[in-house]
Structure 1
Amino acid sequence: MKKIGIIVLALLMQHISAQANRFVYQVTMKPDAENKNDIKTENAYLDISAEKSLFYSENRYKRDSILQKAFQGGRGRGSVSREQMEGVRTNINYSVEKDKANQKTYFKDRIGRDIYTYEEDRPLNWKMSSETTKIGEYKVQKATADFAGRTWTAWFTTDLPYQDGPYKFGGLPGLIVKVEDDKGDYSFDLMKNYKIAEIVTLNQFGNTLKVKRAEYVKQQEKFKTDPMAFMQSGGGGFPAPPQPGGGRGGNQNPAEMRKRMEERVKEEAKKNSNPIELQ
């Protein structure tokens, strides 16, 4: 009996250590450079396990789940209503994975039909401050860093044993509870955390292309400038938005559909003229 008790205890400990923790951040963004009053707010998850962490949008996860169910049911994207998709709109279409063993950070984002992924090649050089305060239940300490064209202020806590944070941020002696840029355009605020069984696997519709960061930026600009030329050159396309009532506008003139898609992409680019990374 004693041996069985030890085995059960060992299995229980193994199960506990295999669990992951989910930290929910409220992300506040001003993505439109010409309209700073247009403030977007949504939740994002930072899932942390012993091996890695994954940062992604709550709405993106919900949206992908809706699409996955539609495809698995053999109905296709056309069966998803416009209302369903509107309810899970997100400004955070990317995901960030940090590999703890190799100390590498990988960024993934969709351009057209394909997913582009690159390894972050710029270090985060934090300047530690002795300044401390309290945010919620946590005692936090201040640190600052210049990254991707913005100056960031982070508040981290050693109460939580993770050298991690939202987006590409991490590498401090504790978990980042809050981080914001000095212009007030972007802010990540920890709201709550809880245990989960394991880190989710995000659905990746389309091909995944591994590139250098400079190539990703180049392809992104090409897509924004001329999405149709990007599609025709083999850079990937994008599906037509689902139509009300489940249709895909099959009776529409193809040239008219292409024009509408192009206008939609350009309008989206205009609304995202103040990205989180300025350089």
Structure 2
Amino acid sequence: MKKLGIIILSLFMQTVIAQTNRFVYQVTMKPNASDKDNIKTENAYLDISPEKSMFYSENRIKRDSVIQAAMQSGGARGFNRDQMESLRSNINYSIEKDKKDQKTIFKDRIGRDVYTYEEDRPLNWKIMPETTKIGEYKVQKAETDFGGRKWTAWFTTDLPYQDGPYKFGGLPGLIVKVEDDKGEYSFDLMKNYKIADFPTLNQFGNTIKVKRSDYIKQQKKFMEDPMAFMSQGGGPMRIGGNRGGGGNPAEMRKRMEERVKEEAKKNSNPIELQ
């Protein structure tokens, strides 16, 4: 009986240790370079296990849930367009950090496909002597230059994770807050709780592995000719509203290019400037 109790306790401890911890960050952004008064705020998740961590938008999970429910109830006709519009996100990427191999993998959609690359720039932190308290955590200051911005982070050793939001990590504790010196991007830890496991993110299209420099080139090409990225089987992608089949390819191209240019304008101040 005593041996059985030890086994049960051991299994319980393994389950607790294996659990994934979710840290919810409030992300504040000024993505439009020509309108710095336009401030976007949304939540993002940093899910951490002993093996890896994932960073992605809260709206991504909600959108996936809506899409899945729509597909089960009749495909595209089941979509609630107003609901989908309310779940639009400025965080369309996801980032996975492999703890064992010390790799940071970035994923983002361009056109129909998902492009993924391994981050090739190390984070060189300068740990400062300043300490303060943010919420319930005692934190210490650190600084780094990354992606063309100067960043200040506040990390805590109260939590046993050397991780943080976005691509940030590698400090002696969890990053509670990190912001750039222009006040255009900030990540603030709001709360945390345990979840059973990492969620499965819906992923449509092919996954294409590239170098970071090639990803940047593909982004620029997409801005110049979005229709070239939306073809399948040699034909252009059908764009919403063209249910009758056919349609004028020139008009479709024009609508797509206008939409991409409008999106580019709204996101003309990216988190990484170089």
Shorter-chain TM-score bucket reads over 0.9
Query: What is the CA-CA distance between 1:68 and the residue it aligns to?
Result: 2.4
1-side partners of 2:154 and 2:64: how far apart? 32
- 2:120 is matched with 121
Structure 1 residues not aligned, in runs of 5+ = 242-247
| Gap change, CA 1:198 and 1:217, over 3 Å in 2 | same
The offset of 1:86, in angstroms, is: 1.0
How many residue pairs match? The answer is 272
Does structure 1 residue 267 correspond to structure 2 residue 262? yes
Can you list the C-alpha shifts for 1:100-124, whole angstroms capped at 9, x where unaligned?
A: 0011100000000100000000000
Alpha carbons of structure 1 residues 77 and 135: separation in structure 2 relative to 1, 3 Å: same
CA deviation digits over 1:52-83, x for unaligned, max 9? Answer: 00000000111122112323x16223431220
Which structure carries more relative contact order (alpha carbon 8 Å, separation 6+)?
1
Are the equivalent residues in 1 in contact too, given 2:128–2:142 (CA < 8 A)?
yes
1:69-218 mapped onto 2 (5 Å cutoff): 69-71=69-71, 73=72, 75-218=74-217
CA contact (8 A) 1:112 1:238 kept: no
1:250 corresponds to which of 243, 249, 256:
243
Look up the match of 2:55: 55
Change (3 A) 1:276 1:237: farther
**Which runs of 4 or more aligned residues in structure 1 lie more than 4 Å from their structure 2 counterparts after TM superposition?**
232-239
Q: 1:2 to 1:58 in 2, by over 3 A?
A: same
In 2, the alpha carbon distance for the partners of 1:234 and 1:120 equals: 32
Offset at 1:232? 5.0
- Give me the identity figure in percent: 74
| Offset at residue 240 of structure 1 (A) | 3.2
- Kept in 1, the 8 Å contact 2:160–2:173? The answer is yes
1-structure distance, mates of 2:103, 2:114: 19
Change (3 A) 1:238 1:249: closer
Kindly provide the amino acid, as one letter, of the partner of residue 47 in structure 1. D
- Shift of the alpha carbon at 1:228? 1.8
| 185-194 or 220-229, larger mean C-alpha shift | 220-229
8 Å Cα contact 2:125-2:143 kept in structure 1: yes
Q: Report the TM-score, using the length of structure 1 for normalisation.
A: 0.92
